[in-house]
């Protein structure tokens, strides 16, 4: 595919690095020459210095031959204008990053596809949704859902007293009735392992499991986790993400939200009728103690300052809060999650990049996600008629060692894949893979 990426911030750079290894023709546009020099030094892509709202620059990028244009600069206006111009100049599909949720309202009366914007990405909403999912799945460090929860990928950290410690994968499979779930990856010492039957579980492993709804209880037992419900939540930061998270959680939980800005505090109080708004500095441990942080089930730090979020979450963890979630703006922080004792980190830019990726893969891919902090992807494929994946049992396919088929969704039913499973045409198949296996896996799904 010929792909133009306008904007080489974190989202654009993540996309460019990811796609440059997949034989796409990538063109990067940015007004910042230093960003372009950096991305040009670490990837094999064409860079153009200039504004993506310039018709001359778009023509220089041969936008009329572009299969996809992705506009992900820091300016919503630039992104929307870029997408509209690109569509008019002949780009096949366009995606624009936005910062205003009113554009997503179906009642807005504006059909943006008619204006030339095929899809809009709103990172704050995506980050809020992921945060809510992590709160609802109390023990999970990561969670991805496919087809409205028919299959889920959950990340869990193994404590030293977890029942599976020092057991082999094959032995755990026999003991825990794995017809409802399958272990698809182990993250250990900054390395991602696609497990074989002889791999052992060790303390502090982060284990990724694909499951149907019926397998969640067994997964929690496997990791030695409690299946408890959260009732009391404290949120630090009343920005777009904090407001959206509170709006959802206040319907079923008791929520306190701390915001330092006076005007924003009054605005939040009007908007969040069931949330207690507290004006103050969330880094003040006396304030946290006064507001009952020791009674909280979860602490979510969503300010614009990553260091504040990490520090306050560590404070909350030290005070006995069961689960902490921190918003960070730098991907480099994500591997720290397990080493410094935090439960989950959220990076809205990487989440946005993952959502954009599904427009880039070939037609049989319907969903793609990257689990933050590990070098692996989870993809949902549709098995095309006549494709190799439909011709043999899974154990006879010769599937790459760096990939594993986790589960299958067939019409309204979902089930975990095993060696004797046969894939039918038009089945949706969830695959966990390392980047090196992407091209090999892709060949199994198209005729």
In the prediction, which pLDDT does 388 show? 92
Indicate if the pLDDT at residue 279 is higher than 90: yes
Question: Tens of pLDDT along 129-178?
Answer: 889 988 877 666 677 777 777 888 888 888 788 888 998 888 887 777 66
**Closest C-alpha to 207, from 159, 170, 161:** 159
**Closest C-alpha to 431, from 206, 187, 185:** 185
Indicate if the pLDDT at residue 366 is higher than 80: no
In the prediction, which pLDDT does 256 show? 96
In the prediction, which pLDDT does 60 show? 96
In percent, the amount of the chain with pLDDT more than 90 equals 47
From CA 347, how far away is CA 286, in angstroms rounded?
28
Look up residue 58 and give its DSSP letter.
Answer: H
The residues that bridge with 121 in the sheet, in sequence order, are: 97
- In what side-by-side order are the strands of the sheet with 344-346? 275-279, 254-259, 232-236, 298-301, 323-327, 344-346
Look up residue 395 and give its DSSP letter.
Answer: G
Please give the helix or strand (H or E) that residue 242 lies within, else none. helix 240-249
From CA 376, how far away is CA 59, in angstroms rounded?
35
Q: For the chain, how far is it from start to end, CA to CA, in angstroms?
A: 19
Asked if 385 contacts 402 with a C-beta cutoff of 8 angstroms, the reply is: no
Listed in sequence order, the residues at least 6 apart from 31 whose beta carbon sits closer than 8 Å to its beta carbon are: 49, 50, 51
Mean pLDDT for 190-205 is 86
**If pLDDT is split at 50, 70 and 90, which confidence band does 265 have?**
very high
Question: Tens of pLDDT along 39-90?
Answer: 999 988 999 999 999 999 999 999 999 999 999 999 999 999 999 999 999 9
In the prediction, which pLDDT does 178 show? 63
Indicate if the pLDDT at residue 373 is higher than 60: no
**Closest C-alpha to 319, from 286, 347, 338, 293:** 293
In the prediction, which pLDDT does 203 show? 86
**If pLDDT is split at 50, 70 and 90, which confidence band does 363 have?**
very low
**Closest C-alpha to 327, from 127, 137, 142, 121:** 127
In the prediction, which pLDDT does 394 show? 93
Indicate if the pLDDT at residue 333 is higher than 80: no
In percent, the amount of the chain with pLDDT more than 70 equals 91
DSSP output for 250-279: TTTSEEEEEE--HHHHHHHHHH-TTEEEEE
- Which domains are present in the chain? 2-121 (3.40.50.720), 126-131+229-351 (3.40.50.720), 353-443 (3.30.70.1450)
**If pLDDT is split at 50, 70 and 90, which confidence band does 364 have?**
low
In the prediction, which pLDDT does 57 show? 97
Residue 77 tokens read as: 């206006």
**If pLDDT is split at 50, 70 and 90, which confidence band does 239 have?**
very high
Per DSSP, the three-state class of 106 is: helix
Indicate if the pLDDT at residue 202 is higher than 70: yes
Mean pLDDT computed over every residue of the chain = 87
Residue 315 tokens read as: 């404070």
Residue 36 tokens read as: 């372009």
From CA 304, how far away is CA 285, in angstroms rounded?
19
**If pLDDT is split at 50, 70 and 90, which confidence band does 233 have?**
very high
3-state percent helix, strand, coil for the chain, nearest multiple of 5: 35, 25, 40
Instruction: Report the relative pairing of strands 377-382 and 413-416 from DSSP bridges.
Output: unpaired
Instruction: Report the relative pairing of strands 403-410 and 413-416 from DSSP bridges.
Output: antiparallel
Higher pLDDT, 364 or 306: 306
């Amino acid at each position: 595919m010929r792909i133009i990426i306008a904007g080489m911030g974190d989202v654009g750079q993540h996309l460019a690095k990811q796609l440059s290894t997949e034989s796409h023709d990538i063109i990067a546009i940015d007004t910042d020459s230093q960003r372009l020099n950096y991305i040009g030094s670490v990837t094999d892509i064409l860079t153009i210095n200039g504004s993506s709202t310039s018709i001359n620059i778009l023509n220089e990028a041969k936008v009329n031959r572009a299969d996809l244009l992705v506009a992900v600069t820091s300016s919503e206006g630039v992104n929307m204008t870029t997408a509209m111009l690109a569509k008019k100049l002949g780009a096949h599909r366009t995606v624009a990053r936005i910062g205003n949720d009113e554009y997503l309202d179906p009642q807005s009366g504006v059909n943006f596809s008619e204006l030339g914007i095929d899809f809009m990405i709103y990172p704050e909403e995506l980050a809020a949704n992921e945060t809510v999912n992590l709160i609802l799945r109390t023990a999970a460090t990561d969670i991805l859902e496919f087809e409205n929860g028919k299959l889920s990928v959950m990340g869990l950290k193994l404590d030293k007293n977890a029942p599976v410690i020092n057991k082999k994968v094959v032995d755990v499979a026999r003991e825990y009735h794995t017809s409802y779930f399958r272990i698809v990856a182990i993250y250990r010492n900054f390395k991602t392992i696609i497990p074989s039957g002889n791999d052992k579980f060790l303390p502090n492993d982060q284990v990724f499991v694909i499951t149907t709804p019926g397998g969640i209880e067994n997964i929690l037992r496997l990791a030695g986790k409690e299946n408890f419900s959260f009732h009391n939540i404290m949120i630090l930061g009343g920005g777009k993400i904090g407001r959206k998270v509170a709006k959802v959680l206040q319907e079923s939980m008791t929520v306190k939200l701390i915001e330092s800005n006076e005007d924003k505090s009054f605005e939040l109080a009007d908007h969040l009728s069931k949330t207690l708004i507290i004006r103050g500095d969330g880094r003040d441990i006396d304030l946290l103690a006064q507001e009952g942080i020791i009674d909280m089930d979860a602490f979510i730090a969503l300010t614009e300052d990553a260091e504040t979020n990490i520090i306050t979450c560590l404070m909350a963890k030290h005070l006995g809060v069961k689960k902490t979630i921190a918003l960070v703006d730098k991907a480099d922080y994500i591997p720290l999650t397990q080493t410094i004792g935090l439960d989950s980190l959220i990076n809205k830019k990487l989440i946005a990049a993952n959502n954009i990726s599904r427009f880039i893969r070939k037609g049989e891919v319907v969903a793609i996600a990257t689990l933050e902090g590990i070098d692996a992807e989870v993809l949902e494929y549709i098995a095309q008629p006549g494709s190799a994946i439909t011709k043999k049992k899974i154990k006879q396919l010769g599937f790459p060692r760096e990939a594993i088929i986790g589960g299958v969704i067939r019409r309204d039913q979902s089930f975990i894949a095993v060696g004797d499973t046969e894939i039918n045409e038009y089945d949706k198949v969830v695959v966990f893979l390392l980047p090196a296996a992407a091209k090999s896996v892709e060949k199994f799904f198209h005729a």
